[in-house]
Structure 1
Amino acid sequence: MPFVTFTVRRGLDRADKLQLSAAMIEAQVAAGFQREDLFHRFIDVDPDDLLADPRYPNYTADRTDRFLVVEVVISKGRPKATADLIADEAIRQFGERLQLAPRDVLFVFHEVDPELPRFPAETLIPKATADA
């Protein structure tokens, strides 16, 4: 179950966020995850709160004001190719859907222990009563 956080500069509209999310789902599916694994969060920041070197690492053109960071949390133990597949397919999808240049996207992958609980067991959720 990937958990994805998009950090974007304030002003990105809902339609573009939905396109980013849809593109990311396609990338996740290409890497072997289920289409229903939709856990995406958007953090909007002021332009002065998302700084990046305009050309690192050796880009020939500057990043634009559309620069964003995509953080992906996945379970430890997956093949390295999983992250590569997600990033490559997401870049392709972002380009097709939003005309976003690869230099305007930074991917950060985090691995977590797959044995850690993610959701409370359904048996721990109190059942609604007639009095509630």
Structure 2
Amino acid sequence: MPLVTITVRKPKTAAFKSAVFNAVHEALVAAGVPATDRFQRALELDEEDFRFDPSYPDLKSERNADFVLVEVLFSVGRSVKIKKKIVHDILATLSREGFDPENVMICFKETAWENWVFGGGRFIHT
């Protein structure tokens, strides 16, 4: 169960956030995540609460107010090859939507399968 969090500077339209959510979800589904396994949240922060370097480490174009930080929390076990495919698919989709790929940062976080409780206190992976 991936949990996707996007962090952006205020204000962003629903269409902007949906484009990112959809790109991430499509990439995860292509990597084997069930289509109905969709848990996403957006954090919209004021400029003083979301700071980032405009060019670190070696960007071809500077980050701007449309910078998107994508965090994907999922269970351990996906290979680097799969993670690279997910990144490629996300950026390809967002590029077609008019996003600058240099303005998108993606971070994968992994947790053990037994750390997921989907509801009702049920540990379905133990």
1:39 Cα deviation from its structure 2 partner: 0.4
Contact 2:60 2:102 in 1 (8 A): no
Q: Which residue pairs with 2:101 in the alignment?
A: 102
1:21 Cα deviation from its structure 2 partner: 1.3
The runs of 5 or more residues in structure 2 that have no matched partner are none
Structure 1 residue 22 corresponds to structure 2 residue 22: yes
Q: Would you say how many aligned residue pairs link Structure 1 and Structure 2?
A: 122
Q: Secondary structure at the match of 1:24?
A: helix
Contact 2:10 2:47 in 1 (8 A): yes
Counterpart-to-counterpart distance in 1, 2:115 and 2:30: 25
Which aligned segments of 4 or more residues in structure 1 are displaced greater than 4 angstroms? Answer: none
Q: Give the share of equivalent positions with the same residue, in percent.
A: 33
1:91 Cα deviation from its structure 2 partner: 0.9
Q: Which residue pairs with 2:111 in the alignment?
A: 112
The runs of 5 or more residues in structure 1 that have no matched partner are 124-132
Q: Secondary structure at the match of 2:106?
A: strand
Q: Which residue pairs with 1:42 in the alignment?
A: 42
Q: How does 1:10-89 map to 2 (within 5 A)?
A: 10-89=10-89
Larger-Rg structure: 1
Task: Give CA-to-partner distance per residue, 1:89-110, whole Å, 9 cap, x none.
Answer: 111111112x111111111110
1:122 Cα deviation from its structure 2 partner: 7.8
Q: Secondary structure at the match of 2:115?
A: coil
- Tell me how large the CA RMSD over aligned residues is: 1.7
1:41 Cα deviation from its structure 2 partner: 0.3
Letter in 1 for 2:69: V
